[in-house]
Amino acid sequence: MALKDLDPLLHSQLRLGVMSLLMSVESAEFTFLKEKTNSTAGNLSVQLDKLSEAGYITIEKTFKGKKPLTTCKITKHGLKAFEEYVNALKQYIGK
Amino acid sequence: MFVSLNPDMEKQNDTLNPHQSLDLIASMIQQAKGNVQKSSFYFLLWGWTIVIANLGVYILIKFTDVKNPFIMFAITIPMAVVAVIYNNRQNKTEVVSTHLDKIHKWLWAGFGLNCALIVFVGKFIGWMVNPMIVLMCALPTFITGVMLKFRPLMLGGLVFWIAGTVLFFLRVEEQFLVAALAISLGYLVPGYMLRKSEK
């Protein structure tokens, strides 16, 4: 298989970083993801929207007092895509 | 950390090769590890509540003519409310919730339900409620110790397994004294040690 066959949605540093973090936890807030990936709020927000549009994650927007709170969670579809991506990577490396 | 990669992940697809992808996944999973929420508060809250309830019952049986000394255990009701309020507040301040947090929460919620049911069916088990609860307490305490990789709690679980068994052989009033001692060793001592390690 060729590198171009890897899921383009996951084959990007920030989106893959976010998905790997969400794989390991039950749910995570925007601030946690921002801190762990060391990204800017603007870029992270755009990438989260892309993952959400693809159905890989769910984004819940609530309020903590007066502050807006964005909580992200990986979906079953996202989990499957992530597993397929890792399997594809393994195949590629094993060639 | 993902030192070999773009330090800020701002760049997109252009530089990521499969090896870097795997490194990135591994480093992110590492980042998310070790996030089990702080739980010493609960061990101290319940430790003191149960120790006071047990000692209270012992004193009432030994030194007074009170008809129903077991009323001392009613203090667990307001304490359950305190625990729920504290838990809700904690949930609002945590920025991440791990799978372990979820297991931890349901393990203790299940134990709480078991305790309530044991009290409910107390008549059918010869009111051996205290030994049963102390014995059942061993498992969630031990497993919490395993999850937190905190040996004093694992030893606490062991204390409950031993004390819970011993309690069945004791007279009722002695059961309350020994249960208070077991809770002090199994909850309070590891609870204070855990609080120190959380700071």
Q: Is A63 a domain residue?
A: yes
Q: What single-letter DSSP state applies at residue A7?
A: -
3-state secondary structure of A19: helix
Q: Is A82 a domain residue?
A: no
Q: How many residues does chain A have?
A: 95
| pLDDT at res. B35 | 58
Is B9's CB within 8 Å of A13's CB?
A: yes
Q: What single-letter DSSP state applies at residue A57?
A: E
Q: Is A84 a domain residue?
A: no
- Cα dist from B37 to B27, B46, B193, whole Å: 21, 17, 16
> Which of A12, A26, A93 faces B97 most closely, judged by CB atoms?
A26
Q: Is A1 a domain residue?
A: no
Q: Is A68 a domain residue?
A: yes
| Residue burial A37-68, b: 16+ Cβ < 10 Å; e: rest | bbbeeebbeebbeebeebebbeeeeeeeeeee
H helix or E strand, kind and range, residue A28: strand A25-29
| Closest-CA residue of chain B to A34 | B8
Number of structural domains (chain A) is 1
| pLDDT at res. A1 | 54
Q: Is A88 a domain residue?
A: no
Average pLDDT estimate for B116-136:
94
The predicted-structure confidence for A57-83, as pLDDT tens digits, reads as follows: 999 998 877 788 899 999 999 999 999
Domain CATH for A33: 1.10.10.10
Q: Is A93 a domain residue?
A: no
Is A26's CB within 8 Å of B11's CB?
A: no
Q: Is A90 a domain residue?
A: no
Average pLDDT estimate for A31-44:
93
Domain that holds residue A22: 7-75
> Which of A29, A85, A93 faces B95 most closely, judged by CB atoms?
A29
How close B194 gets to chain A, by Cα (Å)? Answer: 23
